[in-house]
Amino acid sequence: MSTQEPRIVVTTTDMERLRTLIDTTAGDKADVLDAELLRAEVVEPTQVPPDVVTMNSRVVYRDEDTGETREVTLSYPQDASLEQGRVSVLAPVGAALLGLSVGQEIDWQLPGGKNKRLRVISVTYQPQAAGHHH
């Protein structure tokens, strides 16, 4: 990546669950998520800012190339559903969004080598901000 990757924040609870997920998932998708987690600042769920994308957050992001916006919920793989707008954290876009704050953008690579740039527009629901810490 040409630009420096943005700082990301992950809660201790999410980190624990995601580490378990990585340990039980083989392949590139787990490696991509693992690389993201290695650079994360880990905070207690009660300390995470309300504009950070945590697991089960609902987030609006914009594709900076097309200008298209989408609202998705960042989900664990077993809860992912395209029809319901639930994106797996193991999907490239899910791993890219995890831990970003409103206003941050990230480049991520599509299969085939093309890069996309995403910008977080808003976090419309975050479990921790709503008092749902489990």
Three-state secondary structure readout of 4-35? CCCCEEEEHHHHHHHHHHHHCCCCHHHHHHHH
- The average pLDDT across 78-92 equals 94
Q: How many CB atoms lie within 10 A of CB 45?
A: 15
Classify residue 4 by its DSSP letter: P
Structure confidence at residue 81 as a pLDDT band (50, 70, 90): very high
| Confidence category of residue 2, pLDDT binned at 50, 70, 90 | very low
Give percent above pLDDT 70 in the chain.
Answer: 96
Which domains are seen in the chain, by residue range? 8-125 (3.10.50.30)
Beta-bridge partner residues of 74: 87
Convert 109-120 to b/e letters by CB count within 10 Å (16 or more is b): eeeeeeebebbb
Q: What are φ and ψ of residue 102, in 5° steps?
A: -55, 135
HSE-CB of 111 using CA atoms within 13 angstroms = 3
Per-residue model confidence as pLDDT tens digits over 6-60? 889 999 999 999 999 999 998 888 998 999 899 999 999 999 999 999 999 999 9
Q: What is the band of 4 on the pLDDT scale with cuts at 50, 70, 90?
A: low
Cα–Cα nearest to 100, from 62, 67, 134, 54: 54
- Kind of pairing between the strands at 86-88 and 69-75: parallel
